[in-house]
Amino acid sequence: MIRTLGITNNQELKINFPLEELRNNPFEWYWVDFDEPTVEEELLLDTFFHFHPLAIEDCLMRLQRPKLDYYDDYQFLVAHKLNEETFEAEEVNMFVSEKFIVTFHKSPVPEFDIVRSRIHDQPQYWESGAIFVAYQAIDKIVDSYFPMVYNIEDHLNTIEDELNYQSNTKSMRYVFDLRSDLLHIRRTILPMRDLLYRILNSERFTLIKSERAYFVDIHDHLIKLTEMVESNRELTADMRDSHMSMNASRMNGIMMILTIISSIFIPLTFIAGVYGMNFENMPELHWHYSYFIVLAIMLIIAISMLVWFKYKGWFDLFKP
Query: Does one domain contain both 61 and 188?
Result: yes
Domain endpoint, select from 200, 226, 244: 244
CA distance 133 to 142: 14
**Percentage of residues of the chain with pLDDT beyond 70:** 91
Res. 274: pLDDT tops 80: no
Query: Does one domain contain both 63 and 198?
Result: yes
In a domain, 317, yes or no: no
What pLDDT is attached to residue 165?
Answer: 47
- Distance set, CA 75 to CA 7, 39, 224, 238, 305 (Å): 21, 24, 27, 43, 82
- Distance set, CA 239 to CA 101, 108, 228, 253, 320 (Å): 46, 36, 16, 21, 19
Res. 181: pLDDT tops 60: yes
The lowest-confidence range among 18-22, 43-47, 141-145, 244-248 is 244-248
Banded pLDDT at 317 (limits 50, 70, 90) = low
Query: Does one domain contain both 217 and 104?
Result: yes
CA distance 100 to 4: 11
Q: How many domains does the chain have?
A: 2
Query: Does one domain contain both 272 and 153?
Result: no
Summarised one tens digit per residue, pLDDT across range 135-178 is 899 999 999 999 999 998 888 888 877 665 445 667 777 888 88
Query: Does one domain contain both 108 and 78?
Result: yes
For residue 156, what is the domain's CATH number? 3.30.460.20
Domain endpoint, select from 197, 220, 244: 244
Residue 208's SS3 state is coil
In a domain, 205, yes or no: yes
Query: Does one domain contain both 204 and 300?
Result: no
In a domain, 135, yes or no: yes
Domain endpoint, select from 191, 209, 244: 244
- The H-assigned helical ranges of 7-90 are 39-42, 44-47, 53-60
Summarised one tens digit per residue, pLDDT across range 88-109 is 889 999 999 888 999 999 888 8
State which H helix or E strand residue 89 sits in. Answer: strand 89-96
CA distance 146 to 175: 19
Residue 171's SS3 state is helix
| Average pLDDT score over residue span 276-291 | 74
Mean residue pLDDT across the chain: 84
In a domain, 216, yes or no: yes
Query: Does one domain contain both 182 and 77?
Result: yes
The side-by-side arrangement of strands in the sheet containing 27-35 is: 13-15, 2-8, 27-35, 100-105, 89-96, 75-82, 67-70
Query: Does one domain contain both 305 and 233?
Result: no
pTM: 0.75
Domain encompassing residue 137: 2-244
